[in-house]
Structure 1
Amino acid sequence: MELESLPDEVIAEIEVRDRWRRATAADGLEFLVTDIGRWPLGRTVRVAFLDGDDQLHADIAEATEQITGACNLTLDFGQNGAGTFRRWTTSDTVLAAEIRVSFDLPGFFSLVGTDSTDSAIGAGGGPVGGNPGQRSLNLGRFAVNRPPTWEGTVRHEFLHALGFHHSHQNMRGTCEGEFRWEDDVGYVPTQDPAGVFVPDAQGRRPGIYTYLAGEPNKWPRAKVDHNLRTVDAPDLVAGPFDTKSVMLYRFPAFFYKSTPSSCAPSGNGQNLSDGDKRGLDLLYPHTMGALADRQARADAVLESLGAGPEGVPGANGGDLAEAYRSRVEELAAAQATGVR
């Protein structure tokens, strides 16, 4: 079982930036981490493709209609009268689209929300990041062999691109206590010919940490924690735990302590659940009150940014901190303008 994950260097860059944002939010600017990861309300978010043919592009655009039908946001794939769709290239110097899709890298992944256009992510180069010639969302091998559950995968990754996180990391769920993190007592590390950790000769099973350290993932413990353990952070908007959500991973039975597990999916993994739709409406509402509230928070951040050194921490704290600060200003201004 190959799990989705961003490249390690991209995760590291995001973690450094997020620590700065949370420190800033501690001074009362909660907007930094609750709102700027989302696209502005009512925004048209452009999508472009690196590779793949027109039929694949059309199918992906159609699969996302469930998403845009549930929120105050538009995904624009740049379809023209000839049935072709917007494209981007790795040599671009200007963003062709906010969400830049590829099919050529292994696995599935997406940057979350406005990280897709954050130039500090992937600033040192590499195939993935927030810059014009970098991928922000990847659907590996779709161009040659789509999996049977491809529609659910598309919706899962595009929900990431709109700001959703994994359901199994929801602090209101049971997954933290339901996952078998450690090996069965006495487990003897045993691998099959493909390098996958399997039960030993006595039937004792590997735990999640051991299993994911083998093929095809080869994840160290820290990466398992980052991708699977519960996130209890004040900046995340967490609704009720939803076992029908397309954002809930489908794991092998041995990942769980009990059968059936309260953490296991109960939906088909293909279509948005009612909870997914409520989450979209929470992040991108249509009501005027919600629009005005976000505008007020954005204006408060812009006022603080205008205060100079007494405003957002790091205003004079070096090139990287200044880049973070400029990005916050850019996103806050977009939010304030977008909701007027």
Structure 2
Amino acid sequence: MELDYFPLESLPLESLPDDVVAQIEVRDRWRRATAAGGLEFLVTDIGRWPLGKTVRVAFLDGSDQLHADIAGATKQITDACNLTLDFGRDDGAGTFRRWTTSDTVLAAEIRVSFDMQGFFSLVGTDSTDSAIGAGGGPVGGNPGQRSLNLGRFTTNRPAQWEGTVRHEFLHALGFHHSHQNMRGTCEGEFRWEDEVGYVPTLAPDGSFVPDSQGRLPGIYTFLAGEPNKWPRAKVDHNLRTADAPDLVAGPFDTKSVMLYRFPGFFYKSNPSSCAPAGNGQNLSDGDKRGLDLLYPHTMGALAERQDRADAVLESLGAGPEGAPGANGGDLAEVYRSRVEELAAAQAAGFR
């Protein structure tokens, strides 16, 4: 997502509510402990939508024109994968599907809002996981909760808004941030701590700025100020790669729309190997390969996924023909449905 247009003193980073993050972390720790060696593909596959599925999208607020613009911006995504995003467009009336906070059944798998601060999205099928946001609140996987938010779009759309839309919708289809790719350099390139001797200095708006000697705050200090006010643990969750079950679909891609464009002082070197090389607007070739990995178009790619799926299921303690293993529990049962889906697609000749 392109972030250079934000002044440094008002750089809001993408972030889910703390209670939602806590619920996801508990679930992911259990998956890691259960899945062992099959972790990477397991989390990817459980988090994606079924092959060829039509995923419904609905809007809480905003105008029909805004909805049309967002639907148009996602075409790059659906052109690159075997999945359909259905916005419920009524061509005659020019309207799109809507949802409300009082819904008791899901109006759509992806529920978009524009009324909360910042940009965020649940990842993949977390958007319909009733355990996420089960305690109530505005964000979660339940019918009356937001799963994707594009703050300010109704009043002050960002200059490069298409890239932001594609970034958030890639999250909704199962993608994670590129700066958290363990094959990348960002962990070592980020300047986490203050420059030696930095004296904490606040601007009038509450953001941390260089001190009187020009020494810079580190990432931890900067993000502790306005508008983010993140504690260290939240910085680690959103920026570090350690202890993260994130999808690594391929080599680190500096042109991906999933790579943040951070302020220059976030990096130790200039130019930084972690900095984006793309325009932040259009899908990179790597983004398209990732989409084809998750939602393949060809029989060959599908067969490869089937082989990997069988191997992961066996790692859970159950062969393709067996019952879910004791160590796998419900996770193996959920994963089995993914394996059966792949097999059924192959038997049907795919498309």
Normalising by structure 2, we get a TM-score of 0.87
Q: CA deviation at 1:232?
A: 6.6
- What's 1:75 paired with? 85
Judging changes above 3 Å, is the alpha-carbon distance between structure 1 residues 60 and 312 closer, same or farther for their aligned structure 2 residues? Answer: same
Work out the percentage of aligned pairs sharing the same amino acid: 80
Write out aligned runs for 1:312-331 (5 A). Answer: 312-313=328-329
Mean alpha-carbon deviation: is it higher for 26-35 or for 141-150? 26-35
Question: Per-residue displacement from partner, 1:259-312 (whole Å, max 9, x unpaired)?
Answer: 111111121111111211121112211111332454563795887897367362
Q: CA deviation at 1:40?
A: 1.3
Judging changes above 3 Å, is the alpha-carbon distance between structure 1 residues 91 and 158 closer, same or farther for their aligned structure 2 residues? Answer: same
- Looking at structure 2, the residues matched to 108 and 63 of structure 1 have their Cα atoms a distance apart, in angstroms, of 16
The count of corresponding residues between Structure 1 and Structure 2 is 331
Q: CA deviation at 1:326?
A: 7.1
Mean alpha-carbon deviation: is it higher for 32-41 or for 240-249? 32-41
Q: CA deviation at 1:53?
A: 0.9
Contact 2:176 2:246 in 1 (8 A): no
Write out aligned runs for 1:166-205 (5 A). Answer: 166-205=177-216
Judging changes above 3 Å, is the alpha-carbon distance between structure 1 residues 247 and 139 closer, same or farther for their aligned structure 2 residues? Answer: same
Residue identity in the other structure for 1:123: A
2:298 is equivalent to residue 282 of structure 1: no
- Looking at structure 2, the residues matched to 42 and 91 of structure 1 have their Cα atoms a distance apart, in angstroms, of 30
1:66 to 53, 76, 98: 76
2:25 is equivalent to residue 15 of structure 1: yes
- What's 1:135 paired with? 146
Contact 2:175 2:247 in 1 (8 A): no
SS in structure 1 of the partner of residue 220 of structure 2:
helix
- What's 1:265 paired with? 276
Mean alpha-carbon deviation: is it higher for 282-291 or for 8-17? 282-291
Structure 2, unaligned stretches of length 5 or more? Answer: 1-10
- Looking at structure 2, the residues matched to 195 and 14 of structure 1 have their Cα atoms a distance apart, in angstroms, of 30
Judging changes above 3 Å, is the alpha-carbon distance between structure 1 residues 126 and 327 closer, same or farther for their aligned structure 2 residues? Answer: farther
Residue identity in the other structure for 2:328: V
- Looking at structure 1, the residues matched to 156 and 234 of structure 2 have their Cα atoms a distance apart, in angstroms, of 28
SS in structure 2 of the partner of residue 45 of structure 1:
strand
- What's 2:225 paired with? 214
Q: CA deviation at 1:153?
A: 0.3
- What's 1:151 paired with? 162
Structure 1, unaligned stretches of length 5 or more? Answer: 316-323
SS in structure 2 of the partner of residue 24 of structure 1:
helix
Question: Per-residue displacement from partner, 1:171-217 (whole Å, max 9, x unpaired)?
Answer: 11111111110000011000000000001011110000000000000
Question: Per-residue displacement from partner, 1:19-70 (whole Å, max 9, x unpaired)?
Answer: 1112221286876423111111111111111111110000000000011111
2:317 is equivalent to residue 307 of structure 1: no
SS in structure 1 of the partner of residue 55 of structure 2:
strand
- What's 1:249 paired with? 260
2:50 is equivalent to residue 40 of structure 1: yes
Residue identity in the other structure for 1:279: G
Normalising by structure 1, we get a TM-score of 0.89
- Looking at structure 2, the residues matched to 28 and 265 of structure 1 have their Cα atoms a distance apart, in angstroms, of 30
- Looking at structure 1, the residues matched to 18 and 231 of structure 2 have their Cα atoms a distance apart, in angstroms, of 11
Judging changes above 3 Å, is the alpha-carbon distance between structure 1 residues 144 and 234 closer, same or farther for their aligned structure 2 residues? Answer: closer
- Looking at structure 1, the residues matched to 112 and 214 of structure 2 have their Cα atoms a distance apart, in angstroms, of 42
Q: Which has the higher contact order (CA 8 A, sep 6+)?
A: 2
- Looking at structure 1, the residues matched to 165 and 302 of structure 2 have their Cα atoms a distance apart, in angstroms, of 28
- Looking at structure 2, the residues matched to 265 and 308 of structure 1 have their Cα atoms a distance apart, in angstroms, of 43
Contact 1:305 1:312 in 2 (8 A): no
